[in-house]
Amino acid sequence: MQGELSDGTTIAVKQLSSKSCQGNREFVNEIGMISGLNHPNLVKLHGCCVEKDQLLLVYEYMENNSLALALSGKSSRILNWAERQKICVGIDRGLEFLHQGSTIRMVHRDIKTTNVLLDADLNAKISDFELARLHEEEHTHISTKIAGTIGYMAPEYALWGQLTEKADVYSFGVVAMEIVSGKSNTKQKGSADHVSLINWALALQQRGDTMEIVDPVLEGDFSSKEAVRMIKVALVCTNSSPSLRPTMSEAVQMLQGEMEITKVVSDPGLYGHDWSMSKVRDIDT
């Protein structure tokens, strides 16, 4: 909900339930994770409030709501290509900071379009750190209870609970594909004829119909070179093998044409095309 500070600053207030252990854990975790972070592509936490059964987090206000809304067609504006490129690079830079630039490295665990907010200038800001986990240098991966959103979770994490920064890279790849295509990876989830966004895009690319992936609402007004680049980055970031995914710093260089994009090696047999629907159980969302 929207509010205002005594100095006239517009704020966004997020309320969590204090009546459940999960609500309390998420409240403490989010404060601990984000309070010391300062980056233009991370949402800023102004403060918090605990009063009776109220748990409130006070954030900077985002005038353009979420990326999910902007791509849904329900927003008052349509994102042009330059804005989509800017947003995609912004998300990348925010994750790069969490993984490599911050004093305390962390994995977000829930990167998706609803957790990317847009300010008045359409700068992307990563939000919702309640599921984030610290990643200590001496550990190759974090073993943790699976939590996140089906459709955005990396297979090695969803199936075996192995969490590294490469899980965020996978989620970013899905979001990047949603940005370029204007399609949601979560629509019609679980239906008999459902095909994941990534598999749909990969099939089109392999047929030589890459331009059919691009959002038709752009009506051809986009840089084909940048669009192909974003599609390739999305595909390499969602590679089934974590070791073949780039780091976020490499991904931003690829997006901006400063680094060659690794050729995508498709191996659907490794997990199966329907792993996210048939094999994932007891996931906290």
**How is the chain split into domains, by residue range?**
2-60, 67-278
Check residue 83 and give its pLDDT: 98
Cα distance from N-terminal residue to C-terminal residue, the chain? 21
Contact assessment for residue 113 and residue 74, using Cβ atoms and an 8 Å cutoff: no
> What is the C-alpha separation between 272 and 183, in angstroms, rounded?
22
Three-state secondary structure call for residue 259: coil
CA distances from 86 to 37, 130, 168 (A): 21, 26, 19
For the cut 80, the answer to whether the pLDDT of residue 122 exceeds it is: yes
Token digits of residue 96: 């790069």
Any idea which fold 67-278 has? Transferase(Phosphotransferase); domain 1 (1.10.510)
Check residue 265 and give its pLDDT: 60
Contact assessment for residue 247 and residue 125, using Cβ atoms and an 8 Å cutoff: no
CA distances from 186 to 2, 42, 190 (A): 27, 24, 9
Mean predicted lDDT score pLDDT of the chain: 84
Q: What percent of the chain has pLDDT over 90?
A: 54
248 versus 12: which is more confidently predicted? 248
CATH C-level class of 2-60: alpha beta
Contact assessment for residue 210 and residue 204, using Cβ atoms and an 8 Å cutoff: yes
17 versus 5: which is more confidently predicted? 5
Check residue 55 and give its pLDDT: 81
43 contacts: CB under 8 Å, gap ≥ 6: 34, 59, 60, 62, 117, 125, 126, 127
pLDDT digits (tens, 9 = 90+) for 131-188: 888 865 544 555 556 778 889 999 999 888 889 999 999 999 999 999 999 999 976 5
Check residue 85 and give its pLDDT: 98
Check residue 129 and give its pLDDT: 86
For the cut 50, the answer to whether the pLDDT of residue 222 exceeds it is: yes
Question: Does the CA dihedral 245-246-248-254 come out positive or negative?
Answer: negative
pLDDT digits (tens, 9 = 90+) for 59-80: 899 999 999 999 998 877 899 9
Q: Please calculate the CA angle 52-35-31 and round it to the nearest 5 degrees.
A: 35
pTM, 2 dp: 0.86
Check residue 280 and give its pLDDT: 41
* Catalytic residue list contains 119: no
Residue found by looking up tokens 């752009």 in the block: 218
Token digits of residue 234: 């999305």
Contact assessment for residue 64 and residue 119, using Cβ atoms and an 8 Å cutoff: yes
Q: What is the enclosing helix (H) or strand (E) of 3? A: strand 2-4
Of the listed 110, 128, 168, 215, which one is catalytic? 110
